[in-house]
Every structure is written in C-alpha cells, then in structure tokens.
Structure 1
C-alpha cells in the first residue's frame, strides 16, 4: 500500500527540483533587478502571509471557508493570555475544560484535532494538556470546516494555526507586568532588533514568567517560557530562519476527573466554586521544546520554494488522584466515593519535514496561483505508569475535604504502559484558477500514507492506511466587495482508541460542505456561512473496563481500558461573523453560531456541545490616550446523560470589561475584569464529572514600550 505514495513523493520532489533548476537562468538575468541583500528579507518580514485554509496566499475575503483571526493587539487588550481563554472568545469554537489540566476544543460539533504552528503540524490529538501561552504568537488563526488541504487528516471541524512572532525590520520592544486576583503575577518581555546595519539579519526574543493560585482549593500554577528566532539573508535569493521555544507549565493540587455533580437519586449537586476532589500531594507538569529551521529560495518575483524542518519534544509527569463510585454519591450522607491514585511519565518526540513551492503564473489573460508540496512526519511517544501500592480506600463524606484525606501513596517502579510510532507521508497541492476577473476556482488534493505501530496496556493499536482528500472551492465576486463562495472536502481521522471488542476502533471518515457570502468594507469583513458536516465511526466514550463485561466491585481491573464505540453523526448550521472597524473609534470582533447535530437514529448527538453561541469583543477609543472595551460570551443550555441521570448546565452569559490609559508616552496602565456578574457555571459537561469556571477576576497591568 505504501509503494505508490512513496513513488509519488519522490516524483514530486523531482518535479520541484526540476523546476528550481529550470529557474536558475531566469535568476541570473533578474538578480540585479529584483533582489538585493537589503530588499529580499526585509520585504518578506513586512509581508508574511499564512497558507490559510487552502495552502494558497489568500486573505479571509477570498478564502471559501470561515476564517477567524485573533491578532496580538486583541490578545493583549482583552487579556487572552492562554489558548483556552482565546478560543473561548473565538466565534464557532467551544472549549471543554474537563479537568484543570486537560482541555478539548470543538467546532461545528466535532473535536479539533489539528493544532499547527506557521501552517505546519501533526493532527494526532484531540486533547491539550497544560495551559498554552499566547504571548509567543503574532496572531492565532482558526480555520473552520475541513482541513484536508492542510494535513490530509483530521475531523471536519477546523484547524488552529499559531503564527509565530518573527523578527521585525526595525528595533522594537516592550515589557509588561501584571498582578491580579488569586495571587496572579506575570511578567512579559518582547524584543526585536536588527543584527546588521543593512537589516539583512535580525532576531526576536520573547519571554514570560507567571504564577498564581486558583479559585479551586489547593490548585497553584507556574508558567515559564522563552523563545528566540533569528532570520536573515544567506545570498541575494536565499533566506534562513531558525528558532527555539521552551515552555514549562507546572500545576499542583490538580483535578484528575472532577466533582461528582450527580447524586445516586438523580438530583444534581451544587457546590461552592472552590470545591475540589484533589489531594495536596498531586501535581501535573508539562514541558514543550520546539525547534525549527526554515530555508527560503526566492526563485523569481513570482515563485518561492520553502523547506522547513521542525523538531518537538513534549514531556509530562504527574501524580494524580481520581475519585469514582460503584454505588453513586449518597445525597444524605455524602458517602459512596472511592479513591484511585496514579503516577505517570509521558514523552513524545515529533519530527516534521516539509518542502513547499508557491507561485503565480499568467494564462488566458488572468493570473493564477499554485501551491505544491511534500512532507514527511514522525511521532514517537511512550507512556510509563507507576502502580500505586497504597491509597485505595473509601472516602469520607463529600464535600468538605481538605486534601489530606489520602496520604501520598507508595508507587511501584515504572513500566511501559503504552507506546506509539506514527509515520505520515503526504503529497499535497492546490491551484487557484481565475476563470474570469470575478470568478475563481480552487482545486486541491492531498494524498496521505499513514502508519501507526503501537500498544496500549497490552492491546495493539496498529493501523496502516492510505487515503486522499479532494478539495473543490469557488468564489464569485457578485459586485465590488461582495463574494459568494462554496467549498467541499472529505477527510478521515485515525483514532487511537479501543472499541467494544477491545480492538482498534479504526478511522473516522468525514465530509464538509460550506456555502456563504463575504462582504468587505474599508477595514472590516462581514461573513455568513451555511455548513454541513458528516462523520462516520466517530469515537464516543462508553465506559472503563477490562473487557470481560463484568462490573467489578473494586478498582482492580475496571480501569484497564477506556472503551469507545463508533457512531455516525451529522451536523449542520449557520455562522455569522464581523471583524473590523465600525467607526474611527469603535471596533468589533463578533460572531454567532447555530448548530444542529443528530446521530444515526435521528436523536440529538453530543449534547455537551451548545447549539447556539454568541461571542463579542468590542473596543472604543473615546480619546487619544484612553481605550475601553467589553467582551461577551453566551451559550444556551447543554447536558450529559450519566448513569444516574441528566447533568445539566443552563444557558449563561459571561461579561468582561477592559480599559487602558497612556499615562505618559510609552507607559500604559490597563485593567481587565472578567466574569463581571460573577456567573456560576460548569467548565464542561463532556463527562459525568464537572467543575466550576472562574468567578469574577481582575488584573491590573503596566506596559512600557521602548
């Protein structure tokens, strides 16, 4: 199954190499006219573009899919310092914080599986551990719908693309310090400077240190990150960028699972927002090391070849405490909970190589764009578990725990519980054909060879698949500044879970359809999208067990496996989004989404996902030195059907306010208040346990520009 695709990759490499060789005489003729050491790299810095949804250099107006962009100014103004907070305010995206340190994201009803940096990544996870910082990025793009042209794998939900802060042409820098509720303390620094007098080489340094307590009892969090990127000119036409990022996130007093929010008589519990089931010895620490090298060859004015290599190392170590029940929590006594401690050490290494050729050409009196590429990626992961020799016991009445009810257990030596070696080879391409001045046709393909060799707690997760994803899109500018568009793509997503037969569940397959309108104004964009997505064999959690079908009365083997079943789900809906300036002093980024989801029986599916959401970020500058603003996030009710009854979260609205004032030139003071009305709500009801979101919080910060 692999030989045809491997031959295709070799052939594609040969085509790209051949093209570059044929372009060399052209370069010799044009080198003095188009490129000099002082022009090429500075022009690239000033006009960096993202591959977006199609892999082509197309802005949001011309892209035949929904696209939300949160830039660095918005991130800073509204205090969107971590990716959970940012995505919670992104139209069409939902954030399920099932625990303090593990988070799922979904769009259009399905989990987002692709998280990329500068358009490159591996779509191999639906779960994010730790709290990723956004200060590293110039902007965050959320491409909704199918990501078939970006990775060839995934759900028809969307892709989150982090765009790195890169060196600038001029010296710039700022530092920011902030303090706030629950012992929040944070310091930031961001400096970019040319390294040569001509500006042909430059570097950018970014750093953050933050620490805080939490509204959740026992919970404390520390974060440290640093990044350095250097880019410059090797020759008149050859550029080089290289960078390294390290991010550490350490948490104590963490939730593994959450609160038992349903009693065994079917009534729903109500606790203070600070309630925790954690013990004082628990921790969950993560580290991420990311390095990249990017070599760019400007073949001509219209063509550029880019080769990128990335190497990522992720490590995680934890000592955790879980509570469960065989009989359910008694509403009168608070008894019925049992303890389950665990200790784990995980690591993952990723290597990604990508070669991409982009350019434009003229034919039939029109200018057209092309994107061709090949990539190879490998992910190797290991998960070590330490059996707890003590710490399993009936728990006292809940709530009211202090975190000392179960002493830190004695853990056995580690053993290799699971490992995975994943290889992904890909050939991809897209072309924008200008049929007329106002009508564009976008065609794309993605051929993928995917192999997984792995074992999870003694059960093989091996799979070997080949597949391809076609993409068809069209945009038609009906009148000046008004685009009608439509797109289609299909896609499949490998799933590393066990089915009811304790065998690999296999891949989910999906399709994505979208039609819409986009209206551009002088400095804003209004878009309306109608979408339909389909997913077959989608994993749905069923139970924990050992595969024998017997509900054991102790902990011994009921948690051996997480067992899933495959379901067929269809979703359809409508999204409307506005981004830009309303007046010279008023700007708005807002969106609303309506979603309908059904399973193969025609019943409501994935009911933990809201059907209606509204997001808004509003800024107003009444005077030159003063800017104020407000944020709003609303969703309708959601629920989860547990074994003891329905867990429900009613609709809620979260309001925020911000303001910043330039005290003197280059010195600004800012105040951010979130959850102004002190709304009480669950972070998620994706599972039968839940915990509460943050109550009202406030942050005061000072920024110095230099």
Structure 2
C-alpha cells in the first residue's frame, strides 16, 4: 500500500510538471535504492511555490490580497524583455521613468521598495538604476498591499518577486534572435540539462546579449546578462541549489534629469520626441552580480526547512550632465539654462541569510499551515564623487543642441561623498488556521531591529529603530469557487533620507486594510479588491541643498544632498483583475484600478500618479490554424500633473496599443512580429519631477525562436 501511494505521488508530480522523469522509470523497475531520492527531487522541482503575501504556500485564490503573476510565456510573447516594460503591463503598478536610467515604481499610491528573488530580499531603497532583464526569470509576481510578513517592513504598496528559472528534470532549451528599429539586436539562450542519468543533479544556463540605439538623440544601451544554476540531491531528503547571475548594463548619451518642460512664463513646452539635453560623452554603467546557496531539508511529507544565503555586489560608474535654471527657461529666446556636470562611482554589497520552516499539521479535524523563520541582512554602500573642475557654463538656446556644447570636463580625484551601512534583523511567523473547511484565519507577526550608520556630504544619516508589523487575514469560501477575504497590517517603513532639520526623517508608520472577493473558474480567476491605507511621515522630496543655507544663483553646489519632509497621506481605491481563459481560443490577463490619494489637508497628494489605469494582455490561438498565435496589449491611464515653481506640468490621458503575431514554420522554429505603440502616441515617461522626457514612439521587432 505504501509503495502504491508513493508511486501515485511520483506520477501526479510528473504529470503536474508536464514531464516524464527517470524516477518513474526506475520506480516501475523496482529500483528501491534510488526510490526516495527521486520522490524528493521530483516533488521539490514540480512544486516550487514562492512565499506570497502571507509567507505561506498559498495560491492566488487563497491569498487574502491582490496578486498578479506574469509568466515566461507571456513575457516572451509580448516582448516584455525588461522590468520596466513588464511592470508597465502589470495591473495596479505604475512606472515612473524619471530619467533614461533611473526608475521608480509605485502601487496603490506609494513607492514599491521591495524587490525579491525567490521570496528572499529586503528593501534597501526605492530607485532602480539601469535596465533589469527579465529573461532570467520563470515568472514575476507582484503582491499588492502591505508586505510586512515577507519583508519585515510593512510598506503598503507591494512587493515584486522575481522567480528564477531553475533546472528541469529533462533536457530542454531554446535560442532566440531578434532585430528591430532603432538598431535593436538581441540574442537569447536557455539550456537546462540533467547532469546524472537519474536526474538527481541538473544545471541550467541562461544568457542574453542586447544592444540598441534609441529614438532619443545620443542614447544607446548594451546589455550582457547571464546565470548558471546547479541543483542537486545530497541525500534522500536533502537538496542543494547554487547559482550565480550577472547583469552588465552600459548606457551612453544618458539623461540626468530630463527636459525643461515648463517655461518661466508658465507655459508648457512641446519638443520633438527625440529631444535630449545630454552631451555625447555621458555614460551610466551598472554591474550586478548575485550568488546564492540554498539548502532544503524535506523533514517529512508535511515539513520543509530551507536555508538561503544571498550575496549581491552592485556597482555603477557614471559621467553625467544636468541642466537647471535659476531664473527659468525663456520661452522666446530659449536661454536661461545652466550646466552641472558630475562623475560618480557607487558600490554596494548586500548579504541576506534566511532560515525558514514551513509545514502543516492536523488539529480539530482540519489541516493547518505554519511558516516561521529568521532573517539577518546587511547592506554596505559607498558613493564616490569626482568634482568637475570645468564644464559649468551658461547654455545656448534650447532646443537644438548637438551634444558637443560642453566638452567632457576635467574631473578631480574621487572623494568619499556618502556611505550607508544598514543592518536589519528580524524574526517572523504566520499561521493559517482552518476553522472550518471553508473559513480560514491567517495570523502573522514579525519583529525587526534596524540600524543605519551613514553620512551624506558631511551630514550624518544615522538611525537606530525597532518595530513590528502584525497581520490578520481571513478567507471564507462562500460558495464553491467563490472566496471572500479581508486583511489588515500595521505599517513600519524605515526611510533612508534627511529631513528639513538635516536629521534622519525617521520611519513612516500607519495601517493598511483590504477586503475583496475572488471567483475561481476552471482555467481562470477573477478578483475584486477594495483597499485603504493611512500613512504618516511619508517622505516627500522638498529641495536640494549644500548645508550653507544660501540659495546660490551661479554654478552652485546646492545639489549635494536631497532634503525631504514628512507628510500624511491617505490612499483608498478599488482593483479588479481577470487572469486565464475566456474561450477555447482566447486568453486574457487584464486589470483596472481606481485610486484616491489625499494629504492631511484633504487635497490631492502625489499628483504624478494616475488615479485611473487599465491594462490588458490578450492572446488568441485559432483552432483552424494551430501554428498561428496572435495577441494585443493595451494600457491606459488618465491625467497626471506636477506643480512646479513656474506652473503646472500636465500629461493628459493616453492609451498605448501593441500587437504581436507568431507562426510556427516547422516543428522547432517559430517566427514572431511585435509592434508597440501602434498609434504613435506621444507622452511623457513621468511627471514625478519638473523635468520630463518622451516615451518610445512606434517600435517593431522581428524574432526567430528555435526550440532545442
């Protein structure tokens, strides 16, 4: 009986994984020596669930929060090759590309500060520099709402979790090449191979090379990305996984700041879409290297202990060119702009150790789940500044610059401008109690100790805090396939910025609430969520400064550091999302969000964030021609604005339409065509600040994919 049950488990897991493993063959032959080994390796590989909003292994239907998942097939079909493009199409998420190489993300009105890989990671900032490629990942999950149980810090926006491509039990692979307008060239390779006959050890190698010019004058981006992961079984219940990932991003002709889009008479400027303020000597290069080691102990059928260590080295070097205007840009002459060059070298090392125990137990006639663990993390960062000895000057009339108006400056030797050492330790736990077969109670808590020792241009940024974030959630399956839910979490979010008194601003605190309902169909899920967040002392940029209290009017040193103020913000809204099949031939992933953001005076807050958004990814595979696949993407947002010292900068509502088609020429070869911004919509990438630049016009890419 026991052997029959075990055989059934292997067969079910193999069926779910969509593969036939060597384990099944060995088992049917009665190879008992390798039997338990193959059970474990198959089960772990076929059932890799990342920790979601509660930290527990629960699918989207049972999670008491909004959850969006974009898988590798969707990423490939719609050409979502970098994180910005992918998050642009994720319901409820907004992408603020304030510059060519620096991006902010927000959800539910607040900045997303947590970017995880396989459920491991801690928030060390809100700003992403450079392009992050998505080809390394099997899927990307976006958990919206308070994330205290998985990060230890209760930011109410959400968490982005990148799920790595891991080795598979059988030989598999693909190669893809693509070309497009604006000099786009891209090559991808993905190979997974068992290292032993039994499949107990396997490796996966993933690589990308990408190069592209741009619609934007002078701008170019080259990217070299790769990873290797080895996965194996040490004993019948002990597994090990080790991996290394490399993302090398090089950009030339970059924007630091953007276009001056408001004149000093209050009128908004309108430029050609390729207009840039950069000089042709500028660059912004980043290198991210990440290594991880994961040990998994399958204690028994119900309990698993996982220990993960992650080490990340990040560096960036840049030579940049900024423009500003003390008296504003004159609408008649195009004069009034001043130059400010800069050269910086940044280094950051992050280490995260996480030990996590997950399991289930039976009590009161029901099965319950539990998750507990501890995390120790440290981030050491240094920023070196090279003072520009030349290059400060009044600029000629704008636009019409050619990129050689200011020669590459002479830079001084590097000096340590800022450093930041962050230690964050936490313990956490959550439990799902099945009070009845249809009613679940989820309870969670974590305790965090946070220390920051730092200095920014001679001003101390030290802080030492501790706090906790309780979590309460309930799910109630009212009818078969209909789940109502509610959740609450405290907010505790350290902020690594200076206040108006040049002291640490301190933490943002508050509360986050969400109620909703989810309807599960045979191959799809419909969800509706209503949320509310109350947050106090949230950082809001106020000004740059150098500490002398003087508003310089010449080529100033006023840009030494940023000064923030704390504001109180209330956010509430509603989200709806559908994922899955519409018919036998149509698949849809779509969502819409309505948002309200108010400050302590009841006025609109963070007006650069759209209040209404809608996004759609639609795929069609006609039954009459199964070699053809086609699809359409659409994203829409309403008006946004930014109030500058000279007047309001507006971006009206807009919609961006994309199309794709793929045709399987022969069994292993598929040709595909992707078009984005089909209607050539002209719009700003962001109005988060008083400078802005234009998003991509119509783009076209043709690709050929070979299945190995």
Partner of 1:75: 75
How many angstroms apart in 2 are the aligned matches of 1:73 and 1:599?
A: 41
Partner of 1:303: 303
Partner of 1:636: 638
Secondary structure at 1:36 match in 2: helix
Change (3 A) 1:92 1:464: same
Partner of 1:26: none
Q: Output aligned runs, 1:336-415, within 5 Å.
A: 336-415=336-415
Partner of 2:96: 96
Partner of 2:151: 151
- Spell out, residue by residue over 1:312-363, the C-alpha distance to the aligned partner (whole angstroms, 9 max, x if none): 0000000000000000000000000000000000000011111000000000
Partner of 2:554: 554
Q: Is the 8 A contact 2:154 2:489 kept in 1?
A: no
Q: Does 1:583 align with 2:583?
A: yes
How many angstroms apart in 1 are the aligned matches of 2:137 and 2:198?
A: 26
Q: Output aligned runs, 1:110-125, within 5 Å.
A: 110-125=110-125
Q: CA deviation at 1:592?
A: 0.3
Secondary structure at 2:38 match in 1: coil
Q: Using the TM superposition, name which of 46-55 and 96-105 deviates more.
A: 46-55
Partner of 1:504: 504
Q: CA deviation at 1:579?
A: 0.2
Partner of 1:667: 669
Secondary structure at 2:149 match in 1: coil
How many angstroms apart in 2 are the aligned matches of 1:34 and 1:171?
A: 20
Q: Is the 8 A contact 2:505 2:565 kept in 1?
A: yes
Partner of 1:262: 262
How many angstroms apart in 1 are the aligned matches of 2:561 and 2:375?
A: 34
Corresponding residue to 2:649 among 641, 647, 659? 647
Q: Output aligned runs, 1:382-461, within 5 Å.
A: 382-461=382-461
Q: Output aligned runs, 1:20-169, within 5 Å.
A: 36-169=36-169
Partner of 1:696: 698
Partner of 2:8: none
Q: CA deviation at 1:33?
A: 11
Q: Is the 8 A contact 1:182 1:212 kept in 2?
A: yes
Secondary structure at 1:413 match in 2: coil
Secondary structure at 1:62 match in 2: coil
How many angstroms apart in 2 are the aligned matches of 1:510 and 1:225?
A: 39
- Spell out, residue by residue over 1:185-219, the C-alpha distance to the aligned partner (whole angstroms, 9 max, x if none): 00000000111000100000000000000010000
How many angstroms apart in 2 are the aligned matches of 1:70 and 1:401?
A: 41
Q: Is the 8 A contact 1:501 1:547 kept in 2?
A: no
Secondary structure at 2:86 match in 1: helix
How many angstroms apart in 2 are the aligned matches of 1:654 and 1:674?
A: 8
Partner of 1:676: 678
Q: Is the 8 A contact 1:155 1:510 kept in 2?
A: no
Partner of 1:173: 173
How many angstroms apart in 1 are the aligned matches of 2:472 and 2:231?
A: 36
Secondary structure at 2:525 match in 1: strand
Partner of 1:183: 183
How many angstroms apart in 2 are the aligned matches of 1:250 and 1:206?
A: 19
Q: Is the 8 A contact 2:202 2:231 kept in 1?
A: yes
How many angstroms apart in 2 are the aligned matches of 1:76 and 1:503?
A: 47
Partner of 2:16: none
Q: CA deviation at 1:546?
A: 2.5
Q: CA deviation at 1:548?
A: 4.2
Partner of 2:688: 686
Q: CA deviation at 1:561?
A: 2.3
Secondary structure at 2:515 match in 1: strand
Q: Does 1:522 align with 2:522?
A: yes
Q: CA deviation at 1:37?
A: 1.6
Secondary structure at 1:610 match in 2: coil
How many angstroms apart in 2 are the aligned matches of 1:543 and 1:565?
A: 9
How many angstroms apart in 2 are the aligned matches of 1:546 and 1:237?
A: 58
Q: CA deviation at 1:545?
A: 1.9
Partner of 1:22: none
Partner of 1:6: none
How many angstroms apart in 1 are the aligned matches of 2:648 and 2:332?
A: 19
How many angstroms apart in 1 are the aligned matches of 2:361 and 2:227?
A: 37
Q: Is the 8 A contact 2:154 2:469 kept in 1?
A: no
Q: CA deviation at 1:155?
A: 2.0
Partner of 2:465: 465
Q: CA deviation at 1:154?
A: 4.8
Q: CA deviation at 1:551?
A: 1.8
How many angstroms apart in 1 are the aligned matches of 2:186 and 2:471?
A: 44
Partner of 1:13: none
Q: CA deviation at 1:488?
A: 0.3
How many angstroms apart in 1 are the aligned matches of 2:503 and 2:75?
A: 44
Q: CA deviation at 1:549?
A: 3.9
How many angstroms apart in 2 are the aligned matches of 1:451 and 1:70?
A: 35
How many angstroms apart in 2 are the aligned matches of 1:521 and 1:129?
A: 40
Q: CA deviation at 1:494?
A: 1.3
How many angstroms apart in 1 are the aligned matches of 2:306 and 2:524?
A: 31
Q: Is the 8 A contact 1:573 1:596 kept in 2?
A: yes
Q: So what's the TM-score if we normalise by structure 2?
A: 0.95
Q: Is the 8 A contact 1:341 1:388 kept in 2?
A: yes
How many angstroms apart in 2 are the aligned matches of 1:51 and 1:559?
A: 41
Q: CA deviation at 1:489?
A: 0.4
Change (3 A) 1:646 1:437: same
How many angstroms apart in 2 are the aligned matches of 1:373 and 1:380?
A: 24
Unaligned segments of structure 1, at least 5 residues: 1-31
How many angstroms apart in 1 are the aligned matches of 2:133 and 2:181?
A: 19
- Spell out, residue by residue over 1:131-160, the C-alpha distance to the aligned partner (whole angstroms, 9 max, x if none): 100000000000000000011115210000
How many angstroms apart in 1 are the aligned matches of 2:170 and 2:614?
A: 39
How many angstroms apart in 1 are the aligned matches of 2:395 and 2:186?
A: 37
How many angstroms apart in 2 are the aligned matches of 1:499 and 1:467?
A: 21
Q: Does 1:241 align with 2:277?
A: no
Q: Output aligned runs, 1:278-317, within 5 Å.
A: 278-317=278-317
How many angstroms apart in 1 are the aligned matches of 2:287 and 2:127?
A: 15
Q: How many residues align?
A: 675
Q: CA deviation at 1:273?
A: 0.8
How many angstroms apart in 2 are the aligned matches of 1:570 and 1:548?
A: 35
How many angstroms apart in 1 are the aligned matches of 2:167 and 2:423?
A: 33
Q: Is the 8 A contact 2:154 2:490 kept in 1?
A: no
- Spell out, residue by residue over 1:212-255, the C-alpha distance to the aligned partner (whole angstroms, 9 max, x if none): 00010000000001100001110011000000001100000000
- Spell out, residue by residue over 1:356-399, the C-alpha distance to the aligned partner (whole angstroms, 9 max, x if none): 00000000000000001011001000000000000000000000
How many angstroms apart in 2 are the aligned matches of 1:36 and 1:487?
A: 40
User: What RMSD, in angstroms, separates the aligned Cα atoms of the two structures?
Assistant: 1.0
Q: CA deviation at 1:510?
A: 2.9
How many angstroms apart in 2 are the aligned matches of 1:560 and 1:702?
A: 48
Q: CA deviation at 1:557?
A: 2.7
How many angstroms apart in 2 are the aligned matches of 1:53 and 1:145?
A: 8
How many angstroms apart in 2 are the aligned matches of 1:131 and 1:291?
A: 19
Q: Is the 8 A contact 1:474 1:487 kept in 2?
A: yes
Q: CA deviation at 1:164?
A: 0.2
- Spell out, residue by residue over 1:237-289, the C-alpha distance to the aligned partner (whole angstroms, 9 max, x if none): 10000000011000000000000000000000000110000000000000000
How many angstroms apart in 2 are the aligned matches of 1:346 and 1:263?
A: 34
Moved over 6 A (4+): 32-35
